[in-house]
Structure 1
Amino acid sequence: MSPVEIFADHTYRMVLLGTATIGLVSGALGSFAYLRKQSLISDVISHAALPGTLIAFLVCVAIGVDGRSMPALIVGAIVVGTLAVIFANAITRLSIIRIDAAMAIVLTLFFGVGMLILRTITNGDYPGKGGISSYLFGNASVITISDLITSLVVGGIALALTALFWKEFALRTFDPDHSRVLGFSGRRVDLAMFTTIVIATVIGVKAVGLVLMVAFVVTPPAAARQWTRTLPSMVACSAAIGAVGSGIGAYLSIVLGGWATGPLIVLTLFVIFVISLLAAPDRSVVTGWRRRRRARRELLRRLETEAAVAEGLR
């Protein structure tokens, strides 16, 4: 099936555009979590988004609104995901528990609550509950125009917030002490930054699922870091890798047929990451090996020269 034929089909077009949008936003905003060495935070958010979406579903059903409304589910996921991030950082701030352990605790807590709510919805008589469990693993084929517009609007807001607070985010990421000296509130900057990361994570709930969204937030920045040296170039490169990798993975799932879109996108992003590790001009594994080999040769040459000089002095 040619790209022209794919874009002529409404369902396939929505799959490609929807996943590419998710990859672009997640890749760009995931750069800050990667650079702050808190990549696991995307896993916390994705698992905490489960109870958020389910609570939003129940609220919508209670007030007589479509429980599977994409905007409502995203709002619920953003609220609960942000609370999970705040909770994890509060545990670290108020105790001796490190951030990695705190994130693991919060992840399992929120995901456990989400599974209990999911069981309640599955066993209960709730209108529109069919397919609600697919948010665990996603289903890109059900993306609608309204879903795509919602992802574009919400993702655009997150990117706009990042551009607006670029200086604060950059200082907080690379030099938090200097950020405090300049008068920036660390908690407020963190809240704004992690809120954008939450948005980047939850917009892919419907298409990719909560379980696989962590790959969209972590893998593109990890690959982009091999090619870039500055924050703006890394964010741009990560966004491009996320969009292109997602588009290629979605295209392969359509062409191959019967293959889940989310896992194929994750595998595509992983291939791009491996290529980056091996082929990036300055940071690749091959380049590092050559530098170490060159350094060993220079060291041996210098030792041989010194030995020859010492022998001549005798």
Structure 2
Amino acid sequence: MGYPMGDEKIDEVIEEIVKEGRRKIIGEDILGEFQECPSCHHLIPINAKYCPYCFEILDEDVDMKFIIKELIDKLNYLARIATSRDIYVPALIDNIKTAKGYIKKGDLLTGHRLLQDSYIDLMYRITNSIIEEARRYRVLLKANPEARENFKKLENLAEEWDIEGAIKILLELEADYEDFSRALQNFLEELERAERAIGIAEDFGINTSIAVETIDMAKDEADNRNYKKARELLQNAFLPLKSDIERCMNETLDSIKNSVENIVYRDEITAKKIIKLLNELKFYWKEGNLITVLEKLEELKGEL
């Protein structure tokens, strides 16, 4: 496996610092053994005084006031995330008030338990909502290996209750999905024009079998979510017909040339429109945009 570079390297270093910081806080020996937290079932160091995931108390000597303060801070943080994600937990505020009431009376254990229950419930709601939202973007997974990898990362991060990391991956998936949607829409629009251009070419007496085969290949690529290749095929589908299209263009130009007098005397608007179409035809022919050339030829034919 190659050594990570650039942003990836920076992220790796930051992650190592965060992990090491967590080890120091909970007293983890790097080579120590692990146990399963009885509350949230995450693996934690066997000598940990409390679970860093759900704040389950594992040692009587732990600083309860510190744990409770951490819990309240985390709950406030999760509550803001829940609000931003339209996750409504009606009992949350009442539960926190009740917990603070017990704490004020000196019953730290009951207060802690109420806060912890609220924290775990809210954490599961948020992580589940992130995973459910990510599943909307599964259409990306078929043709995008990076999206598949990101989806796995997101599930792992959600399982580890790394909300910030999971949301970051979710935003990447969302951006990829928007790109995918735009590519799909662009392909469908171009496919519609290409199929219509086939009809125009056939009306001009052009054999379109080669172009039709290429368009079918483009559809196959689109079925595999390879829209870039699909669009390239659509754009190139009419190249084998170029000489036939040029012949039809010359025939149309000859018809216009032979009808100049009628066009000019018919009305000024028609003459100006034909001149405009001819200028557009010249531009698109030079550009090699044969689909648009066929569309312009059809418009010119309608004016004659």
TM-score, normalised to structure 2's length?
0.30
Higher helix share: 1
| Larger Rg belongs to | 2
Question: Quick one: higher RCO (CA 8 Å, sep 6+), 1 or 2?
Answer: 1
